Structure 1
Amino acid sequence: MDPIFIKIIQFFLSLSLLIVLHELGHFIPAKYFKTRVEKFYLFFDVKFALFKKTIGGTEYGIGWLPLGGYVKISGMIDESMDTEALKEEPKEWEFRSKPTWQRLIIMLGGVTVNFILAVIIYIGMAWSYGEQYISADSLQDGFWVTEKSIGDKLGVQTGDLIIAVDGNKIKKFGEILPELVTGNSMTIRRDGNTFEQEIPIDFIATLIEDEDKIRFLSPRFPFIVGTIPDASSNKDSGLAVKDEVIGIGGYPITYFDEAKILLEKYKGQNIDLTVQREGSGEMKIPVIISDSATVGVGLGGLSYKELGERGVFKLEIKKYSFLESIPAGIDKGVSTLTGYIGQMKKIFNPSTGAYKGVGGFAAIGGLFPDTWDWYGFWSATAFISIILAFMNILPIPALDGGHVMFLLYEMISGRKPSDKFLEYAQMTGFFLLIALLLFANGNDVYKWLIK
């Protein structure tokens, strides 16, 4: 099956699940407080619906426009912009007739469900899959900067190790990039010395300019021969698959990144490679270095587990019991939300250039793997659920957070905003959301056409 088609299936499955559960977060407390719910829709039913059925006074349906979903609660100005009922006296079953605290619970229900859902998914993933990561402390010789231009912009080089960001110790290698994206300063260990260095304010923009190079940091690993193509000039040199290159032209090496530097020095020349071969020990093999500074072999694909067993780094593998997975899932949910808030702060600061990375449906779809993988699916779904929770609680009219803002104003001041004011605010918020939607998806189109 085409990878793009697989991504689309996962995207719509995830989106449908998240929308239905988000709207249930509003629906359940509304019903509990005896508030009439007129409609419950997955996707928007502009002009017509793909499916609809009325049960118990509520019309359940599926719309044709997959931009979200909604519940239409009587006596409330919402996405439908239906204000006819507001011209009449309030009825006891209407949203506007309920106590402020009940209305607040109804409006907070959606984002609450989104966050709880993400935590539940993270708990399930911790219990089912456990956790695997490279201990940052075990990278005694630092990391490899695979993209020198980005490393130079950040001020790091191969052999460095970022041990903290904004004073927070880095425990896992995989934490480094997310922390750099949201951080302001880093603590670097280089050649036995430790020092503080500022993260450039526009560093995110640097990453966005070439997203193919965003993974510019890698653990250092040995030079293992993986394949020897028939077209290789060193096919008959004596090199064998699984040989480990430990010396080039008489210079000892430990890591592949060291080999790249020496191969550049000897390009176009005949030299000796010193290799370690299982069962045969060390041996010297004469080879030809191409004009493009390569040996003409494929790099051996050792797994992280094999690299861990070789002692290149320490691979931590942790299994959780069900009870242990609960705090682990909660911690993952909180840390993901905190990290996302940090990213949003960067986006709202124009000098960072982070707004260039804002994406729409294509960017969200890109979170899913291009092969069917339940771990990838649930991981992406949990992250999107966190995004929905945060975005919906923003104090923008037309979003849950806008309604919450006006309800809090009412609770504090004792004065309820007029229906006409709420109607205008809803319209303003709606147009703002359309503008944001066009901007985000426009970014996707720009990246597709230009980049």
Structure 2
Amino acid sequence: MDTLIQIGQIIFILSVLVILHEFGHYIPAKLFKVRVEKFYLFMDAGFSLFKKKIKDTEWGIGWLPIGGYVKLSGMIDESMDSEQMAQPAQPWEFRSKPAWQRLIIMLGGITVNILLAWFLYTMIYTYYGQKYVSTNELQKNGLAFGEVGQSVGFKNGDKIISVDGKFQEKFNRMVIDILLGDKVVVERNGKQETLVLTDEHKKEILTKEGRNFIEPRLDSIIVDSVIKGSKANQAGLLKGDQIVALNGVKVAYFDELTTEINKHKNDSVKVSIVRNDAPMTLNAATDKEGKLGFYNKHLTKDDLKKRFETVNHLTFLQAIPVAVEESYTQFIYNIKQFKLLLKPKTGAYKQVKSPIGITRQLPTEWNWEFIWGFTAIFSIGLAFMNLLPIPGLDGGHAIFTIAEMVTGKTLSVKAAERVQTVGMIILLSLMALTFGKDIYEWILDAISKK
């Protein structure tokens, strides 16, 4: 059932984005009297799930949910229909229209994606409010870092002051900023320290811990679960116990407890706890790695929201400029993330996901606030991707149209076919790699759960 809900969410999100994106091409095409031969939601490679011809246009739904398309008469596109191009140009064809009209048609989908994100953010901020986890609130006690975070230079208790000279008030974006930045300034024991992150450091974070390499430093140590047969289990430690001291040394944070335990490997320790508001002391042993054998309670996303979330309630008019700013910010993040992908040493390209990978990360409950927010983010991502000057994408077509407007020369049909072929090979190869990787990971996860 959970998987079905995830699949339902991704199909809904993709349907909204694809239909509106393609209408961004369809509407100006009709305004400029270009014949639209096909309008498809999803790709109909080989066959379609549904199709119906209304006047000049065949409306349909394909079986492969990786996009959609509008087929215009007189245009070399995904269909590679060169036979039509061999005939004399007709007034209703795309190629017979002025370059400026063709450019508007090609950029129509991107324009709609940006306007959609703007509209969605406006409505989300008006109805739900502008929400984010406050960096200042979350790192009041400093931050806790995993092994990778500490290996690249961070220390438990650090407070992040800035990334590349800028303070990020929204903690939701702090990890992204760190991965996209170079210099991180932290406050450590009352002094400022500067950390320089290399591409190799970023690869370590991305491949081993990801977004979880930073966590809030909780001001209490609560046992979430005890490993069966462990030293903690043998000592009588229970879920819900709060550990307050080890051998009489007070420990307020989990990293402090870890430091103290590491001093007593293969040893016996006295663990001071509070259980049901009553103080107790347990005699426990540690293993050779300096561990007791329990898991500390971590904050879930819901816990983070309850404790640290800031909600700005905005009117519709107040939300409009904030939504514009958010749309712009998301677009800039897409540019920075693309630059990160182009650096092989970071290994960021391995994190790119197909619709299958994205589906597996979606929540297992239908949540309209999340769905519309994710659709807005995805819409900006789709706009950015289509702006890339890759043949086969809107940006590729637009580049050649702009070149024509500047030089007065057009590509020959054969040259256009070759360019389109190269673009399709690039895009299909990338899709094959990302789909293959996500399917492989899905299979491995399924096997590991058996």
Question: What's the offset of the Cα at 1:446?
Answer: 5.0
Q: Which stretch shifts more, 74-83 or 435-444?
A: 435-444
Q: Which residue of 1 aligns with 2:198?
A: 200
Whether the 8 Å CA contact 1:225–1:241 is kept in 2: the answer is yes
Q: Which residue of 2 aligns with 1:215?
A: 212
Secondary structure of 1:335's match? Answer: helix
Measured at CA, do residues 140 and 393 of structure 1 come closer, stay the same or move farther in structure 2, by a change above 3 Å?
same
Match of 2:68, as an amino acid?
G
Q: Which residue of 1 aligns with 2:144?
A: 144
Whether the 8 Å CA contact 2:133–2:304 is kept in 1: the answer is no
Q: CA RMSD in A?
A: 3.1
CA–CA distance in structure 2, aligned partners of residues 88 and 403 of structure 1: 21
Richer in helix (by share): 2
Q: Which residue of 1 aligns with 2:448?
A: none
Deviations 1:180-234 (A, max 9, x none): 1211221121111113221111333223433x55411100111135678998987
Secondary structure of 1:168's match? Answer: coil
Whether the 8 Å CA contact 2:117–2:327 is kept in 1: the answer is yes
Question: What's the offset of the Cα at 1:424?
Answer: 1.7
Match of 1:159, as an amino acid?
G
CA–CA distance in structure 2, aligned partners of residues 77 and 307 of structure 1: 50
Q: Which residue of 2 aligns with 1:322?
A: 316
Q: How does 1:147-296 map to 2 (within 5 A)?
A: 147-152=146-151, 154-210=152-208, 214-221=211-218, 222-225=220-223, 244-266=242-264, 268-273=267-272, 275=274, 283-291=279-287
Whether the 8 Å CA contact 2:36–2:70 is kept in 1: the answer is yes
Q: Which residue of 1 aligns with 2:87?
A: 88
Q: Output the TM-score relative to the length of structure 2.
A: 0.87
Is 1:397 matched up with 2:395? no
Measured at CA, do residues 196 and 367 of structure 1 come closer, stay the same or move farther in structure 2, by a change above 3 Å?
same
Whether the 8 Å CA contact 1:246–1:276 is kept in 2: the answer is no
Match of 2:118, as an amino acid?
V
Measured at CA, do residues 393 and 64 of structure 1 come closer, stay the same or move farther in structure 2, by a change above 3 Å?
same
CA–CA distance in structure 1, aligned partners of residues 69 and 304 of structure 2: 50
What fraction of aligned residue pairs are identical, expressed as a percent? 39
Measured at CA, do residues 362 and 305 of structure 1 come closer, stay the same or move farther in structure 2, by a change above 3 Å?
closer
Q: Which residue of 2 aligns with 1:129?
A: 128
Match of 1:202, as an amino acid?
E
Is 1:436 matched up with 2:436? no
Secondary structure of 1:169's match? Answer: coil
Question: What's the offset of the Cα at 1:48?
Answer: 2.9
Q: How many residue pairs get matched?
A: 441
Q: Which residue of 1 aligns with 2:34?
A: 35
Q: Which stretch shifts more, 73-82 or 372-381?
A: 372-381
Match of 1:420, as an amino acid?
K
Is 1:386 matched up with 2:380? yes
Match of 1:370, as an amino acid?
T
Measured at CA, do residues 354 and 304 of structure 1 come closer, stay the same or move farther in structure 2, by a change above 3 Å?
closer
CA–CA distance in structure 1, aligned partners of residues 161 and 275 of structure 2: 32
Question: What's the offset of the Cα at 1:41?
Answer: 0.9
CA–CA distance in structure 1, aligned partners of residues 117 and 305 of structure 2: 31
Question: What's the offset of the Cα at 1:34?
Answer: 1.4
CA–CA distance in structure 2, aligned partners of residues 347 and 197 of structure 1: 22
Q: Which residue of 2 aligns with 1:99?
A: 98
Q: Output the TM-score relative to the length of structure 1.
A: 0.87
Whether the 8 Å CA contact 1:287–1:295 is kept in 2: the answer is no
CA–CA distance in structure 2, aligned partners of residues 305 and 435 of structure 1: 39
Measured at CA, do residues 192 and 305 of structure 1 come closer, stay the same or move farther in structure 2, by a change above 3 Å?
farther
CA–CA distance in structure 1, aligned partners of residues 304 and 97 of structure 2: 62
Measured at CA, do residues 71 and 7 of structure 1 come closer, stay the same or move farther in structure 2, by a change above 3 Å?
same
Secondary structure of 2:199's match? Answer: coil
Measured at CA, do residues 208 and 239 of structure 1 come closer, stay the same or move farther in structure 2, by a change above 3 Å?
closer
Question: What's the offset of the Cα at 1:306?
Answer: 7.9
CA–CA distance in structure 2, aligned partners of residues 238 and 449 of structure 1: 39
Where does structure 2 lack aligned partners over 5 or more consecutive residues? Answer: 446-450
Question: What's the offset of the Cα at 1:407?
Answer: 0.7
Deviations 1:285-315 (A, max 9, x none): 3443554766677655778898899xxx865
Whether the 8 Å CA contact 2:203–2:345 is kept in 1: the answer is no
